[in-house]
Every structure is written in C-alpha cells, then in structure tokens.
C-alpha cells in the first residue's frame, strides 16, 4: 500500500469530522473586450463570453469533487471590474450589467459572481462614479452579484471623498434591502490594496493584470486546524506553530491538486491558491474557536491579537510550501456573522468592534460581516472605513470593510442572513462624532511606505 | 509534474483508494470484491481489520486503468453494494493522498 492506513484515515477524518472542504473554485474571466458604446451590446457580448468560457465550470467542479472525495462548497466567477467595461457607453446607470451578471450566474448554476467593481484609490473616472452610484440599486435587484470598491493603496494613499461616498452607498444599499435586514451590504466590500486574484466574495474581481481566464482556489479548514491545536493542549508556542504548519500544508495541498485538476479539465490556466482560513457558521468550523483552543477563555479577550498573529503566520508558512502559487487575500478571515465562535464572543461581551480592528492589524483581512445599528451615521461608517484603510495602507496589506447598518435594528438584536452569510449580532459603535474629520474631503497622500524605489 | 501552463500531469496511473467502514458482518469483502471484479477493476493491495465492538475497516488500492467503468461509475456501483451491506464506502483517486501526505 503506497499510503498508510493512518494517512488515508487522516484525510477522510478531516472531511467527515472537521468540516474540511475547498471553499471555492473561482473562475476569473476578462470581459474588457466586450466594451461597446451601446450598453445593450456590451451586456450581450459579456453574457455570451461568460457563458461560453464557464459553460463547463459547475460540471467539472462536481466531477473533481467526487474524484477526490473532497467537498467543494462554492463555484464562483469573477469578471473584469464593470466600471472599466461599461464606461465606453454613455449610460448613466450600470444596473443592466448587474442584471446581466445575475442572470448569467443563475444560468450557469454558480453561487456568486463578482466584479461589479471600481478602483478609485487615486480618483474616480466617470465610469467609476457611475458604477458606485449604481451599487445600491444593483445589489437590491440581484441575488448573486457582488460588488467591491478599492478606495486606498499604499502607493496612492487614501481617497477620502470615495470613502464618504461609499459610506452613503452602504447606507442606501441597506435601506433598499431593509426588508431583508440590509443584506445588500453583505455583498459589498470596500478595500485598501485589493488583490487582483482574490477568489473570495464579496471582493473577487478579475484584475487587469490577469490572463484571459484563470482558475483560483480558496481553501478552508478552521475545524481541521482547531483539532490540531486541541491535540496539543500543553505544547509551547514553537511546537504549536509546527503542528499548525503541518495541517496547513496538507489542506493547501488538497487545494493545489483540485485547482490544477479543474484547470486542466477546463483548459484554463491555474492561478493561485488563497491560504485564507475561511470559517462557516457550522459549529466546529470557527476561527474564533481555534484562538480559544490556544488558551483564550473567549475570542476578544486580551491575547486575541497575539493568538491570531500566530495562527495566521503558521498557516502561511505551512501553506506557502504546499503550493506553487499563493495569492488572493491569504489571511485568516474573521467575519463575525459567518463564525459561530465570533458570534458567541460578541454575545458574551468579549469581542468588540475595536478589538476586531486590532485583529485586522496582524493580518486578518478586515472588518468583515459586522452588523451595526441602523441609525449609525454616514460619517461614522466613513470613519470606520478610513481607520481600516489606514491600517492597510500603512502596513502594506489588504484590508477591507463589509459592514451592515441594519435598518430598524439596534444593539442586542440578532439578524439572520442565511446560508454561508450566517447570523449577526448587532454590535455597538462608539457614538462620538467623527463628522468634521471625514467631511474635510480630498485625498490622504501616500505614506512614506510608498517610497520604495 | 506541473507543465508550463500550470496544468498537472499525473503519472498515468489510474488507481483509486476504496475505504469501507461500518458494522462487521459476513460477506463484506466478498461483495465489495465482486463489484470490483464485475467492472474489471483490479485489487492491487488490501488491508482489512475488525476493531473493537465489531467495527469493520477495509482499505483497498484498486487499479481501474483497464476497468469497464470510470471512477465515478465505479463509485456509484460500490455505493449500491455498500448500502446493501449497511457499510460506508468511499472511493477517492489516490492522488489526493499522494498530494496531501507526500512531498
């Protein structure tokens, strides 16, 4: 037997007992060549191209999933930022593009489609401005379309005008989906240093430096890492890190194999494996629970930032050895509503918005799936985004904000989004006003960290 | 090996790992072997044991290069056999174990 019983059973146990899966196979597709002065022509060309290139995506993923016995949870598509494709037209609203993407996603049987996006870190083109103003209507009118806007980079600085505008867009998106607890905001993310090959939603888009089409993989496996940590209740940190690295290596290898196999079957180049540990609302599939297994009474207590830093670094070190191409976000996710341990920590009063912000400094990728009171002001949301963007810009890393000001809800309420989006406790926000600060307007210049040449 | 365009080139071997677990009873090995033989799938290696409380566990390495069914069809046939026996059957291409456990 080329493999020991122990090795075979380890792989099977990871799937059966510890929720190991591949979170997403995301196909990136360039549709820049579908631009047209007539928006109807542009959407038709885009639709035809996506349907043609991704025709066999779902079928192929199912086949590979069964071949290796590793569940693949989501099939997704990321397209060229629509602001770039649509701006050739004179249209003053890009809703048609969102509707087209939603229809294509339904037709292909995929879970999400990303790329209703704009990059405005230095300034906004007319196309980007039109796209941003179309977001609330687009997210209210569609189910599977995801939107992202990059408002800051280390090289360009922070576009504060765009941040204020995005805060308004978030409020309006929540209002337009008020009957569904503001779920539109769960499909909208604001970025600093956004990667061009991210397979995860809501931030995935197909960057302009990418090939015509590409397959990117997002792995998962918090449950597997937690089980590894629990096997070593008394180990010192060096031994703990070694064990996490071993597990990260194995789960990343599975992602690498599946990515390459799907890529080969579809004859589409393989892009990257994203090393992010992505939790789900399922019990035992929580990043917070890993930190607690390390010895914290509750996620959010003092020590949480250090524990997350250890986890994140060990996952990267193990994963980096396992794949020929690492990319995307590659940082542990701490989405509150999608992680049962995070929800419990918020409800217990252990985890606050401020602690989550601190955690994003050590390389989680942002304030993710945070539900706040519906009455939270535009200025406060803008300031929360600005803080997070500053962390990303100064530390040369990706940060993001996905925040839901749930209409009519207040601290203590629980919001049900369903599926992978989970359940969100409404979190308190400090109510001292940053209005004067965020309304100064303009652009925060690139930091010293940008001057690397 | 990985080709220039990033596509994986496997070794050309078509071998699957079949794992059978559940309550022990008469005829599990016979029934699983028969299903494999019916599809011209060749058992290359086999490891079988009964653990405490009559828990049956068997791992087979099966060559399907000359089989009359591909992996997915063979898996369906083995699921039918497993269901009739009341045991859990998993069929996985051997590459997943090679990738995860071998450098």
Q: Which of residues 270-289 of A touch B (CB under 8 A)?
A: 270
3-class secondary-structure state, position A50: helix
pLDDT of residue B65: 94
Fold of A28-192: Anaerobic Ribonucleotide-triphosphate Reductase Large Chain (3.20.70)
- Min Cα distance B28 → chain A (Å) is 19
Right CATH for A217-440 from 3.20.70.20, 3.90.550.50, 3.40.50.300, 3.65.10.10: 3.20.70.20
Class of domain B15-101: alpha beta
- Which strands, in side-by-side order, build the sheet including B87-93? B42-51, B55-63, B15-23, B87-93
Name A12's Cβ contacts closer than 8 Å, sequence gap at least 6.
A69, B19, B90
Q: Which of residues 43-102 of B touch A (CB under 8 A)?
A: 45, 47, 57, 59, 61, 71-72, 75, 90-101
Is 80 exceeded by the pLDDT of residue A319?
Answer: yes
Residues of A in contact with B56 (CB under 8 A): none
The pLDDT tens digits of the residues spanning A283-314 come to: 889 999 999 999 999 999 999 999 999 999 99
Six-digit token string for A95:
């809703």
Mean pLDDT of the residues in chain A: 96
- Min Cα distance A296 → chain B (Å) is 30
User: Where are the domains positioned within chain A?
Assistant: 28-192, 217-440
pLDDT of residue B2: 56
What phi, psi does A347 have (nearest 5°)?
-65, -30
Query: Are B64 and B15 contacting, i.e. CB atoms less than 8 angstroms apart?
Result: yes
The closest CB to that of B5, out of A11, A256, A269, belongs to: A269
Q: CB contact, 8 Å: A178 with chain B? A: no
pLDDT of residue A273: 96
Six-digit token string for A184:
């539109």
The pLDDT tens digits of the residues spanning A55-99 come to: 999 999 999 999 999 999 999 999 999 999 999 998 999 999 999
Taking CB atoms and an 8 Å limit, are A2 and B61 in contact across chains?
A: yes
- The reported pTM is 0.94
- Min Cα distance B46 → chain A (Å) is 7
Six-digit token string for A193:
């240093």
pLDDT of residue A419: 83
The radius of gyration of chain A from alpha carbons, rounded to an integer in Å, stands at: 21
Query: Are A77 and A105 contacting, i.e. CB atoms less than 8 angstroms apart?
Result: yes
Chain CA centroid to CA A169, Å: 19
The pLDDT tens digits of the residues spanning A332-359 come to: 899 999 999 999 999 999 999 999 999 9
Buried b (16+ CB within 10 A) or exposed e, A192-226: bbbbbbbbbbbbbbbbeebeebbbbbbbbbbbbbb
Q: Which residues of chain B have pLDDT under 50?
A: none
3-class secondary-structure state, position B94: coil
Task: Report the alpha-carbon distance of residue B39 to residue B23 in Å, rounded.
Answer: 25
The closest CB to that of B19, out of A12, A67, A324, belongs to: A12
The pLDDT tens digits of the residues spanning A401-412 come to: 999 999 999 999
Query: Are A136 and A184 contacting, i.e. CB atoms less than 8 angstroms apart?
Result: yes
> For residue A111, what is the enclosing H or E element?
none
User: Where are the domains positioned within chain B?
Assistant: 15-101
């Amino acid at each position: 037997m080329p493999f020991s019983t122990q090795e075979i059973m380890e792989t099977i146990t990871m799937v059966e007992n510890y929720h190991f899966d591949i979170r997403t196979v995301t196909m990136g597709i360039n549709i820049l060549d579908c631009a047209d002065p007539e928006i109807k022509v542009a959407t038709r060309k885009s639709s035809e191209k996506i349907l043609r290139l991704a025709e066999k995506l779902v079928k192929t993923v199912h086949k590979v999933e069964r071949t290796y016995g590793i569940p693949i949870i989501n099939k997704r598509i990321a397209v060229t930022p629509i602001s770039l494709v649509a701006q050739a037209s004179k249209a003053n609203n890009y809703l048609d593009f969102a509707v087209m993407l939603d229809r294509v996603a339904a037709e292909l049987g995929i879970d999400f489609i990303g790329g209703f996006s704009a990059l405005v870190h230095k300034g906004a083109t007319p196309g980007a401005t039109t796209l941003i103003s179309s977001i609330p209507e687009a997210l209210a009118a569609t189910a599977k379309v995801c939107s992202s806007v990059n408002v800051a980079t280390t090289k360009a600085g922070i576009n504060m005008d765009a941040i204020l505008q995005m805060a308004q867009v978030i409020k309006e998106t929540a209002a337009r989906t008020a009957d569904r607890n503001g779920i539109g905001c769960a499909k909208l993310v604001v970025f600093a240093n956004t990667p061009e090959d991210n397979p995860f939603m809501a931030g995935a888009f197909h960057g302009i430096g990418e090939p015509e089409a590409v397959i990117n993989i997002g792995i998962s496996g918090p449950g597997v890492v937690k089980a590894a940590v629990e096997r070593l209740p008394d180990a010192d940190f060096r031994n703990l890190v070694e064990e996490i690295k071993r597990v990260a290596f194995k789960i990343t290898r599975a992602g690498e194999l599946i990515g390459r196999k799907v890529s080969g079957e579809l004859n589409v180049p393989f892009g990257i494996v994203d090393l992010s540990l992505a939790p789900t609302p399922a019990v035992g599939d929580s990043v917070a629970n890993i930190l607690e297994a390390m010895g914290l009474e509750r996620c959010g207590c003092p020590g949480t930032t250090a524990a997350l830093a250890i986890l994140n670094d060990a996952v990267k070190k193990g994963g980096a050895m396992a794949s020929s191409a690492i990319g995307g976000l590659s940082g542990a996710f701490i989405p509150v509503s999608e992680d049962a341990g995070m929800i419990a920590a918020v409800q217990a009063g252990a985890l606050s918005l401020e602690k989550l912000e601190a955690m994003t400094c050590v390389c989680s990728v942002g304030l993710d799936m945070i539900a706040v009171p519906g009455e939270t002001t535009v200025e406060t949301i803008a300031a929360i985004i600005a803080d997070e963007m500053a962390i990303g810009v100064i530390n040369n890393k990706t940060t993001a904000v996905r925040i839901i000001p749930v209409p009519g809800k207040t601290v203590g309420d629980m919001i049900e989004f369903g599926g992978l989006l989970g359940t969100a406790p409404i979190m308190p926000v400090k109510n001292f006003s940053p209005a004067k600060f965020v309304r100064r307007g303009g652009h925060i210049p690139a930091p010293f960290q940008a001057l690397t040449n | 090996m990985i080709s220039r365009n990033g596509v994986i080139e496997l070794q050309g071997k078509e071998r699957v790992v079949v794992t059978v677990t559940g309550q022990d009873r008469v005829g599990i090995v016979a029934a699983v072997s028969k299903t494999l033989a019916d599809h011209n799938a060749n058992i290359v290696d086999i490891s079988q044991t009964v653990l405490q409380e009559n828990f049956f566990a068997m791992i087979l390495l099966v060559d399907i290069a000359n089989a009359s069914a591909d992996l997915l069809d063979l898996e369906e046939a083995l699921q039918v056999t497993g269901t009739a026996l009341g045991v859990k059957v998993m069929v996985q291409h051997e590459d997943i174990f090679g990738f995860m456990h071998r450098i």
